[in-house]
Each structure stands twice: as structure tokens, then as C-alpha cells.
Amino acid sequence: MSTRVTGAPRTLGDGAAPVLDVAYIALGSNLGDRAAHLSAARAALAALPGSRVIALSRVEETAPLDASPQEPYLNQMIVLETTLRPRELLEALLEIERGEGRVRTTKWAPRTLDLDIVQFEGQTVTEPDFVVPHPELPNRDFWRRELAEVRLQR
Ligand code: A4P
Ligand code: MG
């Protein structure tokens, strides 16, 4: 699997240090070898250009939020320091999902790998197809628990 993101690192000006964002990324899987999909996602995130994993929560098993019968999820939160712009990061996450065989069918369908940007430190995104903080954050106890866990490591 390979992930390619184009574009030079952002800088504040000539010779200035690159602009670093801190992104809180939720990993989820409830299809196939769930642990292997999360493991591949961790490796792919760590290998993104201009990026470094600075904290990660434990992997936890959670009951599916959907009322329809589904397998339980493995969930984990990762904190990524990155020079990628928010949109570049989202594109990279979608490519990592595809690399793990993610096929989009219906909303909330079982998935090999789901990568959601839950929060950025110090910035919000409100675009038609891209919203950060993730609108579901208030409704997901496991994300809030994992956020608390990774914040203790910072
Ligand atoms: N998108 C918009 N904002 C964001 C963001 N902050 N981060 C867009 C990532 N993507 C964002 O996502 C659809 C589109 O959302 C993306 O292409 C991107 O442009 P999707 O993953 O194709 O759709 P989805 O996952 O079926 O729907 P949605 O609403 O994204 O669902 P979620 O929030 O991903 O939740 N139960 C348990 N226990 N654990 C889980 O992790 N996850 C889901 C899916 C359902 N039930 C779960 C869990
Ligand atoms: Mg998603």
C-alpha cells in the first residue's frame, strides 16, 4: 500500500519553520482482520510526509452505534503532528482507507477501515463535505474517552 500526497510543506515565509497542525484522528474497523487494518493505518499515518505520531490511545472494542446487526468495532485515537493542510490530510486518510480495501456502500455500513478527523488543535473547518470538529463528537463516548487518554500523553 502506498500513500502519496503532493505539495510542498507550508511555511510562514522564506526560511521559516513549517506550519504544524495537530490532528486528532479516529481509527475504526468492524470488518475483516480488524487489528491488522488498524495496524496498517498506524503505519501509514506515521509515514505521511511532514507528519509524526505524537500520541495514541489504547485500542478498544465498542458496540456498533447503528441499530442494525453489525460486528463490534475496534476503535483507537491517534494524534498526528503534520505540515499537511487539512484538505490534504483528509485526502491522505481516504487513500489509506482505500489501501485497506474500504468499499463505500451505505452510510454506516460495516467497514474495514474508517479514518475520521475528530479535531484540530486551534482551527475549525466548515466546508460542505468536510467539518472539524467532527459533528458526531458529542454523541460518541468512546471518542471522548480516547481523547482524554491521548491528552494525558501531551
Ligand atoms: N467528512 C466530513 N468531515 C469529515 C471529518 N472530520 N473526517 C467526509 C473525515 N471525513 C469527513 O465519510 C463520508 C465523508 O465524510 C468523507 O468522504 C469525507 O469527505 P464516510 O466514512 O464515507 O461515511 P460514513 O463513515 O459511512 O459516514 P460518517 O457520517 O462519516 O460516519 P462516521 O462518523 O465515520 O461513523 N460504531 C462504533 N462502535 N465505532 C465506530 O467507529 N463508526 C461509524 C461511522 C458508525 N458506527 C460506529 C463507528
Ligand atoms: Mg468516516
From the alpha carbon of 109, which atom of ligand 1 is closest?
26
Whether 141 is covered by a domain: the verdict is: yes
Whether 24 is covered by a domain: the verdict is: no
Whether 20 is covered by a domain: the verdict is: no
The structural domain count of the chain equals 1
Whether 41 is covered by a domain: the verdict is: yes
For atom 37 of ligand 1, the residue with the nearest CA is 64
Whether 39 is covered by a domain: the verdict is: yes
Is the peptide bond between 64 and the residue preceding it cis, with omega within 30 degrees of 0?
Answer: no
Whether 25 is covered by a domain: the verdict is: no
18: left (phi over 0), alpha (psi -120 to 50) or beta: beta
Residue span of the structural domain in which 54 resides: 30-152
pLDDT tens column, 79-138: 999 999 999 999 999 999 999 988 878 877 888 999 999 999 989 999 999 999 999 999
Whether 2 is covered by a domain: the verdict is: no
Confidence category of residue 66, pLDDT binned at 50, 70, 90: confident
| Domain containing residue 77: CATH number | 3.30.70.560
pLDDT tens column, 11-42: 666 677 778 999 999 999 999 999 999 999 99
Whether 18 is covered by a domain: the verdict is: no
Which residues are CB-neighbours of 12 under 8 A, at least 6 positions away?
Answer: 19
Q: Give the residues surrounding ligand 1 with Cβ less than 6 Å away.
A: 28, 62-66, 73, 75, 90, 104, 107-108, 114, 116-117, 129-132, 134, 136
* Cα(115) to centroid(ligand 2), Å: 6
For atom 43 of ligand 1, the residue with the nearest CA is 108
pLDDT of residue 10: 74
